[in-house]
Amino acid sequence: MQELSSFTVPLHCGEQYEGEQIHWEKNGKSILETGNRINVTINGLLGGNFTCHRPNRDFLNYTILLVHPVKFHKALLLKQSSSKEFVSCSARNYNGQFHCSWKWHHERTHKAVVYFAAIRNSSDLNCTLDSNISELTCIDKDYCPYSEEPLSINLTLLVRNMFRLEEHHRTFFIRDIVKPDKVGITKIQDNEFEWRPPQTWSFPCSFFPLSYEIKVVPRSHDCDYTGNRVEQNETNKTHYKVNSKKPYTFCIRAQDPLTKAVWSDWSHHHQ
């Protein structure tokens, strides 16, 4: 259904019930229409659960009608603050696995995921929905990290709350959503630090390099601070000497320098 007007929808209880006296209910309440085949009018977003019964109220079958208001703004999921997308996807490395998540609107208390699929080159990828129905983990078993991705991944997600249906899509390459895990920092001497690539990162490092952004901020501030007295550098080395003599926080994050897709979350050490 594409607009919030009235629509007539045919319903059928079942071939095996032809010739029987059939009564119908919508959301547990009797409606006037009777018979094995009926037409019902749906107004606006008022879909429903239609059940058919024998005269003694024996349950026979049901049909759930969902309303999909195509031209209306999305109302079931919230945009992610980081990506401005309703569905945010990321990969920790180049092994072919990726993770997608979404945030439900807090007022949606009867929410459900109706359908999900990730497809590349007309083939379905193996995806699993987490128990919190807010996350999806997929893997492309045919993915080769040593060659260029020729085709993108197309993700489709259908969600519902009550009888309202919403459709969401994402199209991406794994190389564009790679976000390394946080970098582990090792403090060597008073103002010298060393680190290694995340354990989950793809190896060898010669083929999967990482660049690092380093920030030294006043100790009372977090790593996103951009004010005065900030020491900031980018390097492909795995050690750094801080020049500050005042209390500070050493911050570091990693990124694939070839794609420059997504920075990892900050790691930090207070000094």
Q: Give every CB contact of residue 140 below 8 A, 6+ residues apart in sequence.
A: 96, 97, 120, 125, 153, 174
pTM (predicted TM-score): 0.83
Confidence of residue 81 (pLDDT cuts 50, 70, 90): low
The answer to whether 195 and 252 have CB atoms below 8 angstroms apart is yes
Fill in the DSSP letter of residue 231: E
Q: Give every CB contact of residue 178 below 8 A, 6+ residues apart in sequence.
A: 90, 91, 92, 93, 94, 256, 259, 261, 262
In angstroms, the CA 124 to CA 170 distance is 15
Neighbouring C-alpha atoms within 13 Å toward the C-beta of 172 = 21
Find residue 250's DSSP bridge partners.
216, 269
Tell me the average pLDDT of the chain. Answer: 91
User: Per-residue pLDDT averaged across 208-230, rounded?
Assistant: 91
In angstroms, the CA 166 to CA 76 distance is 7
pLDDT 10s digits, 134-167:
999 999 999 999 998 999 999 999 998 888 888 9
Query: 92 vs 210, 234, 239, 256, CA distance in Å?
Result: 13, 21, 22, 11
Can you say how many angstroms the Cα of residue 7 is from the centroid of all Cα atoms in its chain? 32
Neighbours of 190 (CB within 10 A): 9
In angstroms, the CA 252 to CA 266 distance is 6
pLDDT 10s digits, 29-63:
999 999 999 999 988 778 899 999 999 999 999 99
Q: Which structural domains are found in the chain, ordered by start?
A: 6-65 (2.60.40.10), 77-177 (2.60.40.10), 184-270 (2.60.40.10)
Q: Structure tokens of 37? A: 């085949």
pLDDT 10s digits, 166-189:
899 999 999 999 999 999 998 778
pLDDT 10s digits, 9-37:
999 999 999 999 999 999 999 999 999 99
Q: How many residues are recorded in the chain?
A: 271
In angstroms, the CA 255 to CA 45 distance is 45
